[in-house]
Amino acid sequence: MYRIIRRKWAVLFTGRVSMMSKHRDKVSKQQFLLLLIIAGALFVMTFLFSLSTTLSEWYMRVIYPIVAIMLSFISNIFSFSLYDIFLIVAVLLLIKLILFVIMRKISFSKFLFSLIRFVTVIVTWFYFGWGIAYFREDFYDRSDVTETSFDPEIFRDFAVRFIEDANLYYTDCTDMDKADVRRGIELSYKALPKPLNISYTNGKRKVKPMMFESLYSKMGVSGYFGPFFNEIHVNNYSLNFTCPFTLAHEMAHQFGIAAESEANLYAFVVCARSDDEKIRYSAYVSTLRYVLNDIRRFLPDEYESLVLSIRPEIIADLRRNREHWLAARDESLSDMQDKVYDAYLKTNKVSGGQANYSEVVGLLVSSYDVLL
């Protein structure tokens, strides 16, 4: 008699649990419709920003500084990277969602509802947290600098002058206090809001360590900006003389500069105008490889003689840096990262993709005398 009663209660209980589970698993038409309306509105807003540089420029100048202050305030509470943890959690949640629908623990409608909500949150957070920077006016429209059309003679004069300045500012960077470097670059940014046309302070700039530094080193990543929590990351594997430039580059992203070529330009100007000789040298040695690539491309007959005019110590630093990164490089991982990031940049209206980094030379030819 006891067993019969227990079985009845068990059936009743499991039945109730099953009914409650099914009830929770259902997504009402009203909920789905509301989600689609909200998601649609947010995606339309993002699309409108992508069509209007004026609207995007207004957002980055008026709204983004407030967003940057809020996000960087939260991230600065923690010594570790919230961006890295956020990516891990997001990937795990997505995998869990896919597994649950495969194992039929949730219905397809619940899966679709959760997936749309997930994508909407990620995309909206990315663009309105920082990504609208990809749609703003370019450097020439934001500044008083006029673009110089390419001319072999003008480029040759610039290259000769740039090499002479690099030779002049060479210094040994064996001993470098990275805390002093961070303060020095911050001071440069603080002194240059008008020439660079940026909003200062635009949040806090606490440098975070990479959670997967070894993996990033194999892919050749020296630094990156985490837009979801407004965080700057620099790879400690980098050699000393490249660190100031990398840090200034990632800081430029935090100031709302999305294009890699423009971030390189800002990094160069900020470092070159520093009172710290090591920071100043980092500007020239880090940018010189882009200049040399363009010399090889546009002035092939003069490449060898121009290289010979560079101080042997600088050539040694460039060679050492190349060998340093090649020693850590995993070819398959590096190629994969290049392709993914190239596609990411092109998706966000950076037509040159990865090649955008080297476009800094054109910006420098046009602005060298104006900004320095």
Assess if residue 243 is contained within a domain: yes
Task: Determine which of 80-89, 104-113, 128-137, 168-177 has the lowest per-residue pLDDT on average.
Answer: 104-113
Both 129 and 157 in one domain: the answer is: no
Both 129 and 149 in one domain: the answer is: no
Last residue of a domain, one of 135, 167, 191: 135
- CA distance readout (Å), 347 to 97, 239, 275, 319, 352: 26, 32, 39, 33, 11
Both 325 and 191 in one domain: the answer is: yes
Confidence of residue 28 (pLDDT cuts 50, 70, 90): confident
Radius of gyration from C-alpha coordinates of the chain: 26
End-to-end Cα distance, the chain: 94
Both 98 and 237 in one domain: the answer is: no
Q: Contact, 348 vs 131, CB < 8 A? A: yes
- 148-159: average pLDDT: 94
- At residue 357, the pLDDT reads 63
Domain that holds residue 199: 145-371
Residue type at position 11: V
- At residue 348, the pLDDT reads 82
Assess if residue 295 is contained within a domain: yes
What pTM, to 2 d.p., does this model score? 0.90
Assess if residue 174 is contained within a domain: yes
Confidence of residue 355 (pLDDT cuts 50, 70, 90): low
Assess if residue 180 is contained within a domain: yes
Domain count, the chain: 2
Q: Which residues pair with 355 in a beta bridge?
A: none
Assess if residue 140 is contained within a domain: no
**CA dihedral of 133, 139, 140, 143, whole degrees rounded to 10:** 100
Both 112 and 201 in one domain: the answer is: no
- At residue 10, the pLDDT reads 46
Query: Tokens 């340093």 identify what position?
Result: 324
Both 128 and 238 in one domain: the answer is: no
- 19-47: average pLDDT: 82
Q: Is the pLDDT of residue 133 over 50?
A: yes
| pLDDT tens by residue, 36-55 | 999 999 999 999 999 999 99
Tokens of 225: 């900006």
**CA dihedral of 242, 323, 357, 228, whole degrees rounded to 10:** -70
* 357 Cβ contact partners less than 8 Å away, ≥ 6 residues apart: 260, 261, 264, 290
Residue 333 CA to residue 337 CA, distance in Å, equals 6
If one compares 318 and 337, the residue with the highest pLDDT of the two is 318
Both 240 and 353 in one domain: the answer is: yes
Confidence of residue 9 (pLDDT cuts 50, 70, 90): very low
Q: Is the pLDDT of residue 17 over 90?
A: no
Residue 75 CA to residue 90 CA, distance in Å, equals 17
Residue 213 CA to residue 183 CA, distance in Å, equals 23
- At residue 119, the pLDDT reads 96
- CA distance readout (Å), 187 to 55, 120, 129, 255: 30, 38, 25, 14
Residue 89 CB neighbours (<10 A): 10
- At residue 144, the pLDDT reads 87
Both 353 and 315 in one domain: the answer is: yes
| pLDDT tens by residue, 75-89 | 999 999 999 999 999
Residue 82 CA to residue 119 CA, distance in Å, equals 19
Confidence of residue 24 (pLDDT cuts 50, 70, 90): low
Residue 61 CA to residue 255 CA, distance in Å, equals 10
Both 341 and 200 in one domain: the answer is: yes
- At residue 20, the pLDDT reads 43
Q: Contact, 17 vs 98, CB < 8 A? A: no
Residue 275 CA to residue 169 CA, distance in Å, equals 11
Both 264 and 160 in one domain: the answer is: yes
Mean pLDDT of all residues in the chain?
Answer: 91
| pLDDT tens by residue, 224-281 | 999 999 999 999 999 999 999 999 999 999 999 999 999 999 999 999 999 999 999 9
